[in-house]
């Protein structure tokens, strides 16, 4: 087992006096290798607490760069790191917090072709992601390589935590055999997230990782912890292994890794456009709207977003209400559809065109309109 220097013994002294940890447990932590996929809202507290606890090697996977909109919740990053790769930003912070650990970075999108080579050197896989394709891929990876998968997810004010380990209980696919319909669950950018919620869920995930390493307590294997930050309530739901699970059931059908964008009905990580949707740049849309031809604006954002910015004359129908309110749209008009950045509006355009309404997506959304047409608009 790993040895601890005098400096490390002093650093971890509050662990060493815990009978459940002690010197032997701290050495186990130093020997452990944990892969964290995602260094955003969840990955921040996960990585910070595991680094502080003395987990010897942390692997970080992320393809994104630090943006100002991240800093409301992604506490491993800082203002001075805006614009640099998240894995590099996180590595700097973690080594500043604890110089006695190793941090290995992978500035890539986790895909079927690189997942095994990246994960093979780690003991535990931790989910800090925000999309279903990566979540299903991580679960498959964990089952096929016999590793525990510490799961966490957040949505607005609610979160979930579990440990999926097919050797002792159900896997993620036992609980969710099929993903929700495309667009049913908004991303953090679309739906928002309570800034402290990732801290709560990420800290719980880090707790599960440390328990697994030390072999103490009762991990959340076979259980799903539900957290509601508004009500300050915690509920635990018992989970059972699904004998018909295609991955870990009695007659498994999945025997290798695949990518899940088509299965989940969403674009790949790092790519936000929906293929085949006609788009207009803000300048093009502005000229068409001023041409006197029957062009009109459709805003599919939620009403709360209008407090930040809005375009005069736009018809407002939140994307979730659009299927029930199609009759409100004049079919003799050509509609320029927009949201914040163009993701929700692309789905709206797909729906409108499927029922014969002429619609075009505003590329980049109202934020791009602020950049290219009206700089007085506030961006968010």
Rounded Cα–Cα distance for residues 94 and 47 (Å): 7
The residues of the chain that CATH labels 3.40.50.720 are 32-264
191-238 pLDDT per residue, tens: 789 999 999 999 999 999 999 999 999 999 999 999 999 999 999 999
What is the SS3 assignment for 58? strand
As annotated, the active-site residues are 188, 339
Q: In the beta sheet, which residues pair with residue 280?
A: 362
Q: Is the pLDDT of residue 267 over 60?
A: no
234-258 pLDDT per residue, tens: 999 999 999 999 999 999 999 999 9
Q: Is the pLDDT of residue 39 over 90?
A: yes
CATH number given to 32-264: 3.40.50.720
> pLDDT at position 188, please?
73
> pLDDT at position 180, please?
73
Order of strands across the sheet that contains 57-61: 102-106, 57-61, 33-37, 124-127, 149-155, 158-164, 223-228, 233-238
What confidence tier does 178 reach under pLDDT thresholds 50, 70, 90?
confident
Nearest to 269 by CA among 129, 377, 368, 148: 129
> pLDDT at position 276, please?
80
C-alpha angle 52/58/61, rounded to 5°? 125
pTM: 0.84
> pLDDT at position 271, please?
44
What confidence tier does 261 reach under pLDDT thresholds 50, 70, 90?
confident
Q: Is the pLDDT of residue 329 over 70?
A: yes
Non-local (6+) Cβ contacts of 78 within 8 A are 71, 89, 93
**Position with higher pLDDT, 81 vs 130:** 81
Averaged pLDDT, 169-190:
80
> pLDDT at position 274, please?
60
Averaged pLDDT, 147-173:
97
> pLDDT at position 189, please?
72
CATH number given to 279-372: 3.40.250.10
Q: What is the mean pLDDT of the chain?
A: 94
**Position with higher pLDDT, 38 vs 184:** 38
Averaged pLDDT, 113-125:
97
> pLDDT at position 270, please?
43
The residues of the chain that CATH labels 3.40.250.10 are 279-372
> pLDDT at position 346, please?
95
């Amino acid at each position: 087992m790993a040895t601890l220097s005098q400096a490390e013994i002093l650093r971890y002294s509050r662990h060493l006096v815990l009978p459940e940890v002690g010197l032997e447990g701290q050495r186990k932590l130093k020997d452990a290798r944990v892969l964290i996929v995602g260094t955003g809202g969840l990955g921040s507290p996960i990585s910070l607490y595991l680094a502080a606890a003395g987990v010897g090697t942390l692997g970080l996977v992320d393809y994104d760069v630090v943006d100002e909109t991240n800093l409301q919740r992604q506490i491993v990053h800082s203002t001075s790191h805006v614009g640099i790769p998240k894995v590099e930003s996180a590595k700097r912070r973690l080594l500043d917090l604890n110089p006695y650990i190793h941090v290995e970075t992978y500035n890539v999108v986790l895909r079927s072709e690189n997942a095994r080579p990246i994960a093979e050197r780690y003991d535990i896989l931790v989910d800090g992601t925000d999309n279903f394709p990566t979540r299903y891929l991580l679960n498959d990876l964990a089952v096929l390589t016999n590793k525990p998968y510490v799961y966490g997810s957040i949505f607005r004010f609610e979160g979930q935590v579990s440990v999926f380990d097919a050797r002792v209980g159900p896997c993620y696919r036992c609980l969710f055999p099929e993903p929700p319909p495309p667009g049913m669950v908004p991303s953090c950018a679309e739906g928002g997230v309570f800034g402290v919620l990732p801290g709560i869920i990420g800290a719980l995930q880090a707790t599960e990782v440390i328990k697994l390493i030390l072999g103490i307590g009762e991990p959340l294997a076979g259980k799903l912890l539900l957290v509601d930050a508004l009500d300050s309530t915690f509920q635990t739901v018992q989970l059972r292994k699904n004998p018909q699970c295609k991955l870990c059931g009695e007659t498994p059908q999945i025997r290798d890794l695949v990518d899940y964008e088509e299965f989940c009905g969403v674009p790949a990580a790092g790519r936000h456009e929906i293929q085949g949707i006609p788009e207009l740049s803000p300048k093009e849309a502005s000229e068409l709207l001023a041409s006197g031809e029957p062009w009109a604006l459709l805003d599919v954002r939620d009403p709360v977003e209008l407090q930040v910015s809005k375009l005069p004359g736009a018809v407002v129908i939140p994307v979730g209400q659009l299927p029930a309110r199609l009759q409100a749209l004049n079919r003799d008009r050509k509609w320029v559809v927009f949201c914040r950045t163009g993701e929700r509006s692309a789905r709206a355009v797909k729906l409108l065109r499927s029922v014969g309404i002429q619609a075009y997506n505003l590329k980049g959304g109202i934020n791009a309109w602020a950049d290219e047409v009206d700089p007085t608009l506030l961006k968010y």
